[in-house]
A and B are shown apart, each in its own frame.
Chain A
Amino acid sequence: MSSNRANAWRFAIPAIVLGVLAAFFLRGLMLDPAYYESPLVCQAAPEFSLPDLADASRRVGTADFAGRTVLLNVWNSWCAPCREEHPFLLELAASGVPIYGINWDDERDKALAWLHTAGNPFVASAVDEVGEVAVAYGVYGYPETFLIDGDGTILVKHFGPLTPEDWSGKMLPAMEAECAVD
């Protein structure tokens, strides 16, 4: 048997191991893959042209917002977090921020009915029936919001409902800063 002091240390090992693991977990939580910066950030936004939600005979696409800094929001009528961010999107739209929508995994009449009752923050929404844009933009779920500048470069990819804090803490600074290309 070793000395008491050595013994005491031995018994503390499990607590220390747990502490170290917890530190990694904490870091892992901050780095949650769903919140990773997309590899698309600082890259050119993939081009698309899809039917307009309001009028299927018209097209909505990257060409519509070339030259302007816009938000591109992936949404649908049934996702609860989309509803959560909806009032803030309306607020942003009212203050003059152009927001384009990608309506994904939804039905046209339900989507229109929702915009009719809750208000429409979008300049226009494109209907992504087969998920073509969702794949090109590496969308994990709904809602996701991309900040795209006038050159068509993705400045920010935001996962989950957009809050005023995200807007002032992430989006606004990104517009000021140069894109740090890896």
Chain B
Amino acid sequence: MIPELGQFALVLAVCLSLCQAALPLAGSFTGRNDLMQLARPAAAGQFVFVGLAFAVLAYLFLTDDFSVEFVFLNSNSDLPSAYKFTAVWGGHEGSLLLWSLMLAGWTLAVAFASRSQPLEFSSRVLGVLGIVSSGILLFTLLTSNPFQRLLPYFPEGRDLNPLLQDPGMVVHPPMLYLGYVGMSVPFAFAVAALLAGRLDRNWARWTRPWTIGAWLFLTCGIALGSWWAYYEVGWGGWWFWDPVENASFLPWLMATALVHSLAVTERRGIFKSWTVLLAISAFTLSLLGTFLVRSGVIQSVHSFANDPARGLFILGLLLLISGGAFVLYALRAASLESEGGFHPVSRESFLLANNVLLVVATALILLGTLYPLFVDALNLPEVSIGEPYFNFVFLLPMLPLGVLLGFGMHAAWQKMSGRKLLRQLFWPLAVSIALALVLPFIFFGTNSFMTVVGLATGIWVGFSSFLMPLGRLFNAEAVRLSRAQWGMCIAHFGVGVFIIAATVTSGYSVEQDVAAREGQQWQLAGYELDFRELRRIEGQNFTADEAEIEVRRDGRYVATLRPQRRDYPVREVVMTESAIDANPFRDVLIALSDSVGDGAWAVHARYKPLIRFVWIGCVIMALGGLLAATDSRYRRPKELRAGVKPTEGAKPAVGVPAEEGGR
């Protein structure tokens, strides 16, 4: 009875989403207020029923109702309760329901926040969100019903994939989906603008906080995924260019470009059609990611349910939603006129370069991700496209981007003297390069070309991000930085931290794979590892071999690590649980692999300098985004509607433009 209640809620949600898709849009073209006013109640109702369906599914998991196929396949009565709950999104059907819930949540938030916007505009935005939502909900209901009963039913479930039985998995998917799905909001704004054939700076001002919000969740989601992969499957790696990872990274790159392009559109009323294109593309890449992950068109280490019928449905959805938007773009984009121009040396130029480089990176990574598909269709040579390709095509545009970033932040809008900019930034640049040359010798005793390039870029980005606040500190007359400007500085500082950490950890990690037995001692990057003991332990739903390895440095005790090799009997899966001694400056990671006979075990030992800052950098970026998204000018609906020209920053302070930042 309870599962049917969930199913019924889902059906009602579909009905409401169809209303939300059709009626307000129809109203906006016929000028009927009554139809337009249906958008908000429909959005609220949809949220209630999707929420109910989700709650029902969670309840079914917590009460071990194995008569429901999805619960049967992804849970087990021995599973700890917390994981029973997260198992809701441990499989395809539940993931989709989570997707829908996130979308309903974003839609509800937009419905609330858009009360100050013109009814015609907000009803178009909600209508477009309704189309997306009905597509996803229908997809769930027709091809991937999580409430499907299984008869005759089993008294015990198949258990959750042990890979997903992990605290990281509790937060990673919801964060990622919040970001992924959040891209539907700028998409809906863009399509609404195209439908109206009109786009002004207010549009950019409305769109910006939503975009930054979705972007920051996506940033956190990707960082969490990377962290999870690092300690759960990675044996020390933190990014694998796996198709599923790329599926989340591509929208992120596009969203980053969009955030910057929106800054120009809001500030200067130019780049309009480009901004709209980015908004549509970012969400298209989100949908594409869903398609790639869910259809199994490209095999990946993350194996999810593969089903061609589902693949066809999502492809159809992609064509309907993104294809429709792109066709609309082709018809209407020409009518979005620029309100001015700019000079080659100006904030606009730097942001344009930012956009071009990010789009190039996106395109090349997309190409690599889809390469297996092209190989089949075009009989291309079977080249294995892996990490070297992706690292190359990513770094090629990103290093220049890092260099330009420092300049762009300090360039004035419209026009600026290039010589002045260079003069102002010469010393920070010189200091960054000098530090990059010297620091590695001090800390690691060696250096290399790529390390210098990476470090110089990272230090330069981090350093230049704080020139602006520092300048204010020593200049009493300067205008206070707005919250958005702080956000920009902090997010860019995070980028710098990330680049430094990524450079150091890829340049100076030490990786060892040894066959070791009890009593054996060996060295890892200045640490002594002492294999003390191997024992057998029993967990709630697994048994494990656990090694006890003591880590010492110069004879002094550092930590005791207990890596495990777990055997989950229900799924017949063996998992490696690595053990990590972490401090901010380095990780020592040990993973127990296989028994190699005679009491010896294959042990993976890793020394990873600065690896924590890879994720800390991402968190700093997201924090910057949070500040920028909550800037007070997004919370003044009255003024927004009046649409006055921006007043701040009329007179740039010497050396540092007073404009709000290009984030």
Question: A: which residues have CB within 8 A of B?
Answer: 4, 7-8, 11-12, 14-15, 18-19, 21-22, 24-35, 78, 80, 105, 117
A83 to chain B: closest residue by CB: B150
Pick the 9 closest A-B CB pairs, nearest first.
A15-B326, A12-B330, A11-B333, A28-B373, A28-B297, A29-B311, A14-B326, A11-B330, A27-B377
Given contacts A15-B327, A27-B376, A78-B158, contact A21 B370 (CB under 8 A): yes
Most B-side CB within 10 Å, residue of A14, A21, A25, A34: A25
Given contacts A8-B330, A26-B315, contact A34 B373 (CB under 8 A): no
Q: In the complex the two chains form, is A32's CB within 8 Å of B297's CB?
A: yes
> Nearest chain B CB to A78's CB is how many angstroms away?
6
CA distance A152 to B330 in the complex (A): 58
Q: In the complex the two chains form, is A33's CB within 8 Å of B299's CB?
A: yes
10 A-B residue pairs with CB within 8 Å? A24-B370, A25-B311, A25-B373, A28-B297, A29-B295, A29-B308, A31-B376, A33-B299, A78-B72, A78-B154
CA distance A14 to B325 in the complex (A): 10
Q: In the complex the two chains form, is B334's CB within 8 Å of A22's CB?
A: no
Residues of B contacting A105 with CB < 8 Å?
572
A159 to chain B: closest residue by CB: B306
B288 to chain A: closest residue by CB: A21
Contact of B323 among A7, A8, A18, A80 (CB under 8 A): A18
B292 to chain A: closest residue by CB: A25
Residues of A contacting B329 with CB < 8 Å?
11, 14-15
A17 to chain B: closest residue by CB: B326
Residues of A contacting B150 with CB < 8 Å?
80
- 12 additional A-B residue pairs with CB within 8 Å, beyond A14-B280, A14-B326, A32-B311: A11-B273, A11-B330, A18-B319, A21-B288, A22-B318, A24-B370, A27-B377, A28-B376, A32-B296, A35-B308, A78-B154, A117-B152
Most B-side CB within 10 Å, residue of A8, A15, A78: A15
Residues of A contacting B163 with CB < 8 Å?
none
CA distance A33 to B296 in the complex (A): 8
Contact with A along B275-304 (1 / 0, CB 8 A): 001001100100010010001111100000
Q: Which of B112-160 contact A (CB under 8 A)?
A: 150, 152, 154, 158
Contact with A along B225-248 (1 / 0, CB 8 A): 000000000000000000000000
Residues of A contacting B392 with CB < 8 Å?
none
Given contacts A4-B334, A18-B284, A80-B73, contact A29 B323 (CB under 8 A): no
Interface flag for B457 (CB, 8 Å): no
CA distance A4 to B158 in the complex (A): 61
Binding site secondary structure of chain A: helix
B69 to chain A: closest residue by CB: A80
CA distance A115 to B267 in the complex (A): 71
Contact of A22 among B277, B315, B374 (CB under 8 A): B315
CA distance A11 to B280 in the complex (A): 13
Residues of B contacting A35 with CB < 8 Å?
308
CA distance A32 to B72 in the complex (A): 27
Task: Give the number of A-B contacts (CB < 8 Å).
Answer: 82
Q: In the complex the two chains form, is B296's CB within 8 Å of A34's CB?
A: yes
B73 to chain A: closest residue by CB: A80
Interface flag for B322 (CB, 8 Å): yes
Q: Which of B1-53 contact A (CB under 8 A)?
A: none
> Nearest chain A CB to B441's CB is how many angstroms away?
47
A106 to chain B: closest residue by CB: B572
Q: In the complex the two chains form, is B277's CB within 8 Å of A14's CB?
A: yes
CA distance A28 to B333 in the complex (A): 31
Q: In the complex the two chains form, is A29's CB within 8 Å of B334's CB?
A: no
Q: In the complex the two chains form, is A29's CB within 8 Å of B306's CB?
A: no
Residues of A contacting B298 with CB < 8 Å?
28
Given contacts A28-B373, A29-B312, contact A22 B319 (CB under 8 A): yes
Residues of A contacting B308 with CB < 8 Å?
29-30, 32, 35
> Nearest chain B CB to A177's CB is how many angstroms away?
24
A117 to chain B: closest residue by CB: B152
CA distance A7 to B299 in the complex (A): 39
> Nearest chain A CB to B376's CB is how many angstroms away?
5
Residues of A contacting B318 with CB < 8 Å?
22, 25
Residues of B contacting A26 with CB < 8 Å?
315
CA distance A8 to B331 in the complex (A): 7
Q: In the complex the two chains form, is A32's CB within 8 Å of B306's CB?
A: yes
> Nearest chain B CB to A7's CB is how many angstroms away?
5
> Nearest chain A CB to B179's CB is how many angstroms away?
22
CA distance A166 to B331 in the complex (A): 45
Q: In the complex the two chains form, is A14's CB within 8 Å of B281's CB?
A: yes
CA distance A78 to B570 in the complex (A): 12
Residues of A contacting B311 with CB < 8 Å?
25, 29, 32
CA distance A141 to B69 in the complex (A): 17
Residues of B contacting A12 with CB < 8 Å?
330
Residues of A contacting B315 with CB < 8 Å?
22, 25-26, 29
Residues of B contacting A32 with CB < 8 Å?
295-297, 306, 308, 311
B327 to chain A: closest residue by CB: A15
Q: In the complex the two chains form, is B297's CB within 8 Å of A8's CB?
A: no
Given contacts A29-B297, A33-B299, A34-B306, contact A15 B370 (CB under 8 A): no
CA distance A25 to B374 in the complex (A): 9
A36 to chain B: closest residue by CB: B376
> Nearest chain B CB to A26's CB is how many angstroms away?
7
Residues of A contacting B331 with CB < 8 Å?
11
Most B-side CB within 10 Å, residue of A21, A28, A32: A28
Contact with A along B69-99 (1 / 0, CB 8 A): 1001100000000000000000000000000
CA distance A21 to B284 in the complex (A): 12
Q: In the complex the two chains form, is A28's CB within 8 Å of B377's CB?
A: yes
Residues of B contacting A30 with CB < 8 Å?
308
Given contacts A24-B377, A25-B291, A29-B297, contact A14 B306 (CB under 8 A): no
> Nearest chain B CB to A129's CB is how many angstroms away?
10
Q: In the complex the two chains form, is B323's CB within 8 Å of A19's CB?
A: yes
CA distance A11 to B277 in the complex (A): 9
A30 to chain B: closest residue by CB: B308
> Nearest chain B CB to A137's CB is how many angstroms away?
18
> Nearest chain B CB to A102's CB is how many angstroms away?
16
B363 to chain A: closest residue by CB: A17
Residues of B contacting A4 with CB < 8 Å?
334
Q: In the complex the two chains form, is A24's CB within 8 Å of B306's CB?
A: no
CA distance A78 to B306 in the complex (A): 18
Q: In the complex the two chains form, is B333's CB within 8 Å of A22's CB?
A: no
CA distance A78 to B155 in the complex (A): 11
> Nearest chain B CB to A104's CB is how many angstroms away?
10
> Nearest chain B CB to A19's CB is how many angstroms away?
7
> Nearest chain B CB to A141's CB is how many angstroms away?
9
Q: Which of B561-600 contact A (CB under 8 A)?
A: 572
CA distance A30 to B373 in the complex (A): 11
Given contacts A11-B333, A12-B330, A15-B329, contact A24 B154 (CB under 8 A): no
A23 to chain B: closest residue by CB: B377
Residues of A contacting B312 with CB < 8 Å?
29
Residues of B contacting A27 with CB < 8 Å?
373, 376-377
Residues of B contacting A7 with CB < 8 Å?
334
> Nearest chain A CB to B251's CB is how many angstroms away?
15
Contact of B322 among A18, A34, A117 (CB under 8 A): A18
> Nearest chain B CB to A165's CB is how many angstroms away?
14
Residues of A contacting B306 with CB < 8 Å?
32, 34
> Nearest chain A CB to B452's CB is how many angstroms away?
38
Given contacts A28-B373, A117-B152, contact A15 B330 (CB under 8 A): yes
Q: Which of B61-75 contact A (CB under 8 A)?
A: 69, 72-73
B323 to chain A: closest residue by CB: A18
